[in-house]
Amino acid sequence: YTFDSGPSLWSGCAAPSTNPLRQVLDAVGESPEWVQYGGWNMYTPEAPAGFYAAAGDMGEWRRTMARLGDGERTVGQWDRLLEFIEPLQRAVLAVPPIALRADVGAVLTAGPYMGAMADPRIGLRAYLLSGPWSAVLEAAGVTDPWLRNWFDFLAFAFSGLPSDGTVAAAMVYMLAELHADGARMDYPLGGSGAVVEALVRGLRKHG
């Protein structure tokens, strides 16, 4: 066995997508081999016998939340959060990160995608994207203890930090990917090191 170091959750990497990493891999023409899976088993104090965290099946996930959390209260707060972040998800998914830049050239590279930002709710909430995910949870009124613990786990699996240390934009993107109809999670054969090796090959290939 080889113990991996890096993100525990990967999505949108096995094929061309809006995932920023995948876009960089496509740009340099290299990629590791990816395998896909539909979810994972977890063991928590609320579920010592374990439960299955399903990706790509919102109905099943809602039933799991209701069983492990506080029933409809937990599911209701989940739904309220998804409604709150929906405009932000459209913004994050519409503008390729590779088009974003910090100079006047952004008018040319990001300009074609600005139509997707017309929803006024995006402008009112966009400031949250660069802050911690915990601020989004608070703004959306998520107080349910089970949900807050779940999001701390997801944030840690994604970035190595809990909700108050993980950038909201990354979590907004991941939730859109994780719960899209029929979604599958990805994993690079060879672990995180295989991704680094692919990026190095791409850089060397292009000088």
The tens digit of pLDDT for each residue in 77-118 reads 999 999 999 888 887 777 776 676 667 777 777 777 766 666
> How far is the C-alpha of 96 from the C-alpha of 100, rounded, in Å?
7
Out of 9-13, 96-100, 119-123, 196-200, the most confident range is 196-200
Does this model's pTM top 0.85? Answer: no
Q: How far apart are alpha carbons 80 and 140 in whole angstroms?
A: 7
Integer Cα distance of 146 and 74 in angstroms: 8
Give residue 44's pLDDT. Answer: 87
Predicted pLDDT at 78 = 97
Q: How many CA atoms lie within 13 A of 191 on its CB side?
A: 7
Strands 47-54 and 39-44: antiparallel
d(CA 19, CA 24): 9
Q: What is the pLDDT of residue 7?
A: 63
Tokens representing 204 are 């060397």
Please name the residue that has the structure tokens 């990160």. 97
What pLDDT does 141 receive?
Answer: 96
* Distance of alpha carbon 20 from alpha carbon 167, whole angstroms: 15
A 10 A CB-CB count for 200 gives: 12
Backbone angles phi, psi at 39, to 5 degrees: 160, -170
